[in-house]
Structure formats: C-alpha cells, structure tokens
Amino acid sequence: MTTPADARLDDSAFLAAARGEKPSHTPVWFMRQAGRSLPEYLKLREGVGMLESCMDADLVTEITLQPVRRYGVDAAIFFSDIVLPLRAVGLDLDIVPGIGPVVASPVRTLADVAAIADLTPEHVPFITRAVQQLTAELGGTPLIGFAGAPFTVASYLVEGGPSKEHAKTKAMMFGAPDVWDALMRKIAGIAEGYLRVQVEAGASAVQLFDSWAGALTPTDYQQHVMPHSARVLAAAGKLGVPRIHFGVGTTNLLSLMGEAGADVVGIDWRTPLAEGIARVGDRAVQGNLDPTLVFAPTDVMTSRAAEIIEAGRAAKGHVFNLGHGVIPSTDPGQLKALTEFVQAYPLKGPV
C-alpha cells in the first residue's frame, strides 16, 4: 500500500508535507471542515440524525466533498465521528445536537467492557462504500481517514457524555487499572480495525484524534495511554499511510505524541508553532491558526497565517490547519480566502 492507488496522488502537496518531502506549496485543510459551517451541509442534514447520516454512504460522500469543492483544500477529511464505530458495533449511544456524544449505559466494569464487540468490516459496509466512492471522485485530492484515540473515546464511554474534568475516566485509570487496561485495549482494537477499513478502501492518510489527552500529565499519559495509542498508530503505519496525531492543550505531551508513532504531530493554537516544532523534533507538524481568527478582518487573519507558514519552514514538513476544529459560525468566505492565501504563499527562497 505504499503506492497510491491513483497516480495523481503522487503530486499531492499534503502527502509530500506529511512524509517530510518538499511540497509545491504549503498544503492546507481544516479540522471539522465537513460540517456545520456550510449551508449546503445544513440543508442536507435537515431531519437526518448525525449518526444516521454517517451510516449513509451517499450522504457521507457528498458531505465530505462539499468543503473540497468550496475551498479547494489540499485534503478531504472523511465525514464520520469518533464514536461512530462504537455505535456500529452495537453500543447504545447517540450524538445529541449542541451536546455531543451521549452513551445510554456508561462503561464502568470489566463486564461492561467485555460486552462491547470487536469491530469487523461487516459492521461498517457503508464506510467501505463511501471511501471507495470518495477516492474515485477525489482523484488527486487525498482522503484522510480518522479514528478517536483510546483516551478520548474512553472519556465519552466512562463519563456517559462530554466532560470538562474527565474525573470518572481518570478515577478508573488511577483506581481500577484492570478495567482501564481492558477498556483501552478494546477501544484500541476498534480504532485499529476502523482505520484499516478506511485505508484498505482507499484513504491515503489517517488522523488519530486524542482531543482530550491534554487533561493528562506526561507521566500518566506515558504510563496509561500512550502504549494503546502507539498500538493503533503502529497498525496504521503497517498499512503504509502517513499518520497524524492530534490533541488539544497538549504542549507538554507533544514529544510523547510524536514518539507514539506519528509522522505528523498536530499542534493546537496555544503552543507557538516554533515551540511545537522544537518539541516534536524530526517529525512533520500540522497547525495551528487560532480558529477564532476567522472572525477577524481578512488581512489580520492572513497576516497571522503568514507567521505560521514562516514558522513552519523549520519543521520537517508543515501541513497548515487551524489549531482545533472550525467553529460552526465561521464564514465560509473566510476559509476560502485563507485557503487561497496559504496555497499562494511563496515557499521558495532561503529558509
């Protein structure tokens, strides 16, 4: 799988930067580009539940393509959610509008963990179909597959919904290591299977979202979480695609998140990119414009983007992105202006 299925992918600036090779321009895509900030998305989603839409291959294909058409970004992100594979294996959970993932019976015991099925391709035929349709449509634009990392997914399962402190999750981690270990292994296996389905169907890169890992100290991350994320990243690495590893508030974890097996480390906007690059060492980086800068005047937004591109020259590779997902009230016109600005920014010249 080291050769892209479509030869046009050979020219992809995104794949070049992710592999630490020299791209023609700084590639750009946006986390959460396929979603609520687009009116054409909102129209398609009228009366269709979030997870329901994720299970409809034609809807997934169309929603994934919408931001590519509108912005001309250098990569597509597969429209799904980090909790979708759990629903696919039979867990009673939903994504409640304005709240996020809600789990009917939170996972607390070894028996609860044992009751969760392992993921097989038969659980997600709609994913295989959607990825195949997408890669055919996308041609030279790579598709990024993704999964939730074990800690972040565990947080939803143990808390039963979104949480600020992740207190019950960390209580399990500190107080019930056997249950914690079983749960992390279970989720890692599901993430591994979910990424394999996406890559085997044609995704050219993967991103592992450990959005809430920043709640952990480096020591706790290293002992209780990193081995499980490393297993998922190692499995994706065997499939021959570049791996992006991202979390929020992870300044102190960046080197460990790289060591976990990432080709590209995602940096949120709180860490100056230069500092992030120093922390991840000889790996590519992704990031990291403050997502609220799209609400500033266009020239303010683009001058901050220029600073980030300049800082990115010191990295092994740099994929431009926001420092977290697109905020739903974002004006798509600003993202279009930002995309054009980043792609036109000259990369030649002395570093």
Nearer to ligand CP3, 14 or 209 (CB): 209
Q: Cα–Cα distances in Å, from 272 out to 114, 119, 285, 342?
A: 42, 38, 12, 18
**Of these, 50, 143, 149, 195, which contacts ligand CP3 (CB under 6 A)?**
50
Query: Beta 76-77 vs 243-246: how paired, if at all?
Result: unpaired
**Of these, 95, 197, 232, 241, which contacts ligand CP3 (CB under 6 A)?**
95
Distance CA 243, CA 245 (A): 7
The nearest distance, CB 193 to ligand CP3, in angstroms, is 17
Nearer to ligand CP3, 116 or 316 (CB): 116
The H-or-E segment that residue 349 falls in is: none
Residues 6 or more apart whose Cβ sits within 8 Å of residue 100: 156, 161, 162
Residue 32 within binding range of ligand CP3, rule CB under 6 A: yes
Q: How many residues bind ligand CP3, per CB under 6 A? A: 23
The nearest distance, CB 282 to ligand CP3, in angstroms, is 26
**Residue 36 annotated as catalytic:** yes
Residues 6 or more apart whose Cβ sits within 8 Å of residue 110: 178, 179, 182
**Residue 87 annotated as catalytic:** no
Active-site residue identified among 41, 71, 87, 156: 156
If phi > 0 it is left, if psi is from -120 to 50 it is alpha, else beta; for residue 277 that is: alpha
Active-site residue identified among 6, 19, 36, 345: 36
**Token reading at 93:** 């959970």
Residue 70 within binding range of ligand CP3, rule CB under 6 A: no
Segment near ligand CP3 (CB under 6 A), from 30-38, 111-119, 222-230, 337-345?
30-38
Which letter does DSSP use for residue 288 in this model? Answer: E
Residue 85 within binding range of ligand CP3, rule CB under 6 A: no
Cα dihedral 333, 338, 339, 340 in deg (nearest 10): 90
**Of these, 211, 229, 250, 302, which contacts ligand CP3 (CB under 6 A)?**
211
Q: Which residues bind ligand CP3 (CB under 6 A)?
A: 31-36, 45, 50, 77, 79, 81-82, 95, 97-98, 100-101, 146, 152, 162, 209, 211, 325
